[in-house]
Structure 1
Amino acid sequence: MTNLFSSFDPSSMFNLSLNWMSTMLGLMLIPPPFWLIPNRYLMAWNTLTATLHSEFKTLIGKNISGMTLIFISLFSMIVFNNFLGLFPYIFTSTSHLTMTLSLALPLWVSFMIFGWINNTTHMLAHLVPQGTPALLMPFMVCIETISNIIRPGTLAVRLAANMIAGHLLLTLLGNAGSDLSILMLIILLIAQILLLILESAVAIIQSYVFAVLSTLYSSEVT
């Protein structure tokens, strides 16, 4: 069990900790296409960002001036880091709570500060769902307050846990390959490829879920 999570331990090279450098590798993939003739990669990325913009605009509703750009950037950063983590020997920064909490907590705190300062009545009304009996109101306020406070934690843990789970399964299956026969090794390789496809889908889905939930939380304070 001590070596089970060893793939997530910090490692160094030339006495330098290079783990978190992978976080910025995705930024290197963005600028070059903008200086070239529009290609399929750029057209696909523009289509994706336009689709996300229209969806986030619908979710936020009003006061959308520039807010969709924040969530599209958030989605882009997470999806780049998720995909980079699928490459061998590249540290998955989004599997670490330090990274995911650094994304979720400032967003949630800023939403709360904005909401309580500018829409205090609206924020108080959110603590008691419509149609709640008077006897249950104190309990509902406690429940809604707790559910509101744990939101950044659930966002961070959901992303980190999903990244760790898939990578850990791939690592465990890969470590078992040296002791298998040829037939079992072929089956293992097919399973690894299918898991890699699944992890690629999870990388996109978890980025989308993180961005959409952040959008929904922001729409509640406006």
Structure 2
Amino acid sequence: MLEKIRLENILFLDIETVPEEENFNALDKTKQELYSLKTQYQRKDDFTPEEFYERAGIWAEFGKIICISVGYFTFRNDIRHFRVTSFFGEEIKILKDFSNLLANHFNQPQHILCGHNAKEFDFPFIARRMVINGISIPPKLNLFGKKPWEVPHLDTMELWKFGDFKHFTSLKLLTNILGIPSPKDDIDGSQVGHVYYIEKDIDRIIRYCEKDVIAVAQILLRFRREDLLVEDEIVFV
């Protein structure tokens, strides 16, 4: 079934998120209390809410998107290319630009969104932040009323589970065992907040996000038993 999907109909994506403020004390008192309640189970007695705030970017209620990178295949005269681009800047602009991409280029029934652990993280995070920012949710992200087989999403982690709902496999691990160059050769997700707020190096974050997108595409190619992308086939736009 996977082999029947046309690669050019798939939009591969990855997002990078950070806490909505640089530190816990920048939140108003109500938001501090709500964050404390939200993270009580995860923190237990090991961390105070302030100490735990560096992880706030994993919750759409307390984080924000700073980059969405996407990639898609093109074929011309049997020549394959994988085009990669990124949206960054103010979150509302990122979300609007991404929504416009879906509306103008990936809005047909055959179009599919694909990411790694994206059904649990990327897709719902984007949709929630759109609601918070007053942006209409694109049909490709709005799952209300859809049956499971109508949802236009692929998740490489879900593909690797083969029905095992308890099996979490990181992108770094999956690329390693499948012989794919690791996208985590510079920073990892836990360092994005520091790079954004302290180093103020958004270009480094964009490169990291784009590497993840390429890695997801490579994983799908391995599932389809097709040749991996080589450097000359990857085009950054």
**TM-score above 0.5, yes or no:** no
TM-score, scaled to structure 1:
0.31
More helix by share: 1
More strand by share: 2
TM-score, scaled to structure 2:
0.29
Q: State the structure with bigger RCO (CA 8 A, min sep 6), 1 or 2.
A: 1
Q: Which structure is larger by alpha-carbon Rg, 1 or 2?
A: 1
